[in-house]
Amino acid sequence: MHHHELLKSAHAAHEQMRSMRRALHRNPELSFHEYETSKFIQARLAELNIPFQVMAETGVVAHIGAGDRCVALRADIDALPIHEESGVEYTSTKPGVMHACGHDAHTAMLLGAAQILKERETAQGASALGGVIKLIFQPGEEMSPGGASIMIREGVLQNPRPEAIFGQHVNPDATCGTAAFVGGMMLASTDELYWKLHGKSGHAAQPHNATDPILIAAHLITQLQTLIARRLNPFAPGVLSICSIHGGHATNVIPDIVELSGTLRSMNQAWREEALRAIEAHSLALAASPLYGDGRCELSIVRGYPPLINNDETTAFARTAAQHLIGAANVEEFEPKMWGEDFAYYTHEIPGTFWMLGIRPPHLEATPGLHNSKFIVDENTLPIGAALLANAALTRLAS
């Protein structure tokens, strides 16, 4: 399929993708509870006569084409626990739940790509695609352990095994009509950290008779930053942010307990493991120091997603394919971020590339960011995203 024809097919499906995206936007569902979303996807695939199966309870995997080779395309389907304030006419009907990360657009674009690919298969035969294109509609991207890890465990990358996987994410910081790529490190690992610092309650005027967990917490917060300042290679990215602290209720009472929570982000798997060990060792030792009295620490580490590392070869390929489709001027370089994405699980198993798709209206200099209650999507990006996905799969299987 020539690029002009592919874009033409995508634009012909624009209104249908817009309708699907708005239906999904009105009815967002939280991670691992995407039951109606899953039924919506299944119904559309059935309309297109595309065979599918359900995995991870609410995930859907479909297959188009035939042959010995296989390429996978992935979209995530879950929403966030955010109350929508975007003001759009198709706003969420569920208080406190919103598609504030664009997963409704991701799903609509992959369904649009499915239509484009099925039309080609119907017109020219299953073998015309050059192989099997596996469509992965994945639940639970926003919540550990991540739907990707569950679907992989249930065999989504088997029977057949894809030689490459491609995915995309909307980006409100970039203009509609653009796509941005980066090889190698793209997004960070995402571990959650929860501290419970135990002291001994007492009168604020008699601190020598108490063990002050607020003081322990203050020292812990500042000292742990040494991990970044002195233990991490200055040329390597890493972040440790402690984002909540709770303890005490009166001005003259030293509390028994202070609780902290935060996140560790890293682009390097080896340093990630080293950092987690150092955080645990230092937290336990600091709290138990005789300087504070009789203190102790409980630390819970919830391991999140691994760093997302794009394969250099598939990224170079996907970038070139995008340049041919939408023009080199619209293909940009993405600056790696310390965000997290469970697409990383796929790229740890098989070669793959994740790219960012601009959704900011051209007439605006800025729009609300991801995970913002006022987040919006320029729906003119829908056919572009669908065409990019279909083009990556078709071009790969033709290579």
Q: Say which amino acid occupies 65.
A: G
* The one catalytic residue among 29, 34, 76, 78: 78
3-state helix vs strand vs coil in the chain, percent to 5: 35, 25, 35
Q: Is the peptide bond before 361 cis (omega within 30 degrees of 0)?
A: no
Q: Are 338 and 188 in contact (CB under 8 A)?
A: yes
Residue 296 is inside which H or E element, if any? strand 296-302
Token pair 């009789």 in the structure block, residue? 294
Distance CA 25, CA 384 (A): 19
* The one catalytic residue among 29, 141, 191, 341: 141
Q: Is the peptide bond before 306 cis (omega within 30 degrees of 0)?
A: no
Does the annotation mark 68 as catalytic? no
Q: How far apart are the first and last CA of the chain?
A: 13
DSSP secondary structure letter of residue 164: E
Long-range CB contact pairs, 281-287, < 8 A, 24+ = 282/220, 282/223, 282/224, 282/227, 283/195, 283/220, 283/224, 286/216, 286/219, 286/220, 286/223, 287/197, 287/198, 287/216, 287/220
Does the annotation mark 85 as catalytic? no
Tell me the catalytic residues: 78, 141
